[in-house]
Amino acid sequence: MTAPQDLCQSPLNAALATSGSADYGSVDSLTRVDSSYKILGDWGEINLQSDSPSLSIDPVRTLDPNETA
């Protein structure tokens, strides 16, 4: 993938997770708009002009009831 030609991002809106770290939520939509992509989520909006994006999702890890985060 080549470097983005154009990137426009709204201010990030983070919530505070119970661990105290920033939680940016999830991606709600990824839409192709002409030669760019619009990515919307709880954290805001990104308009990205690039080659076709690649998305990988890591499996959600669940905690053992006897384990702490």
- Residue range 5-61, pLDDT digits in tens: 555 656 666 778 888 888 878 889 989 988 888 988 877 888 888 887 777 777 766
Confidence check: pLDDT of 3 > 50: no
pTM of this prediction?
0.52
Nearest residue to 9 (alpha-carbon basis) of 34, 52, 23, 36 = 36
Comparing 14 with 68, the larger pLDDT belongs to 14
The dihedral through the CA atoms of 19, 24, 25, 26 has a sign that is negative
Q: What is the pLDDT of residue 54?
A: 76
